[in-house]
């Protein structure tokens, strides 16, 4: 296991912005991030604990390196070697350098909705126009808003479609 100073030195080698937080913890920011967040490493502490952002990494990258991502989207780095820490930081920076991709089901043209009842089974349906939301002429904010609007409309159709009698 690397010491606190060794981990700090590795983060610093990537020219990240270092910010002190409470209880002697340090966060490292990547200001050129194309993603919503800029924090690459968080809660780096003298006891060896710390996390690197993993929520923007592709599933292929996560599987290739065997990263364990917690429910918040962070990869714990307490037991990482120098090579592992260098790899995870470079992969995190690489994933933060590309424009957001709206999740896997958007790429597949499928939308999965969890519906109560029917044994909580997952309902999947084809969403024929979802790729048009990823139009390069729209700003990312507008694209995301249109994407969420489409999901809410389709979700309401699934939930309320069969339960309201039409006259």
- pLDDT at position 152 is 83
**Distance between CA 89 and CA 56 in Å, rounded?**
12
Residue with tokens 């939930």: 159
Judged against a pLDDT cut of 70, whether residue 117 lies above it is answered with no
**CATH fold of the domain at 4-96:** 3.90.1150
pLDDT-based confidence at residue 144 (cuts at 50, 70, 90): confident
pLDDT in tens, 20-77: 998 889 999 999 999 888 999 999 999 989 999 999 999 999 999 999 999 999 999 9
Classified as helix, coil or strand, 76 is strand
Average pLDDT over the chain, rounded to an integer? 78
pTM of the predicted model over 0.85: no
Q: At what angle do helices 82-96 and 4-12 cross, to 10 degrees?
A: 40
CATH 3.90.1150 domain residues, the chain: 4-96
């Amino acid at each position: 296991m690397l010491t606190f100073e060794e981990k700090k030195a590795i983060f610093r080698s990537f020219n990240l912005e270092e910010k002190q937080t409470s209880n002697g913890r340090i966060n490292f920011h990547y200001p050129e991030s194309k993603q919503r967040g800029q924090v690459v490493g968080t809660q780096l502490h003298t006891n060896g604990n710390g996390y690197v952002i993993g929520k923007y990494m592709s599933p292929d990258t996560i599987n290739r390196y065997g990263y364990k991502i917690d429910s918040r989207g962070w990869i714990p780095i307490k037991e990482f070697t120098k090579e592992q820490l260098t790899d995870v930081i470079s992969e995190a920076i690489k994933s933060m350098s590309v424009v957001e991709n709206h999740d896997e089901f958007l790429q597949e043209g499928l939308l999965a909705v969890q519906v109560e009842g029917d044994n909580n089974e997952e309902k999947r349906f084809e969403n024929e126009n979802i790729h048009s939301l990823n139009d390069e002429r729209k700003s990312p904010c507008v694209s995301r808003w249109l994407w969420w609007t489409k999901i809410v409309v389709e979700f309401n159709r699934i939930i309320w479609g069969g339960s309201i009698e039409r006259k």
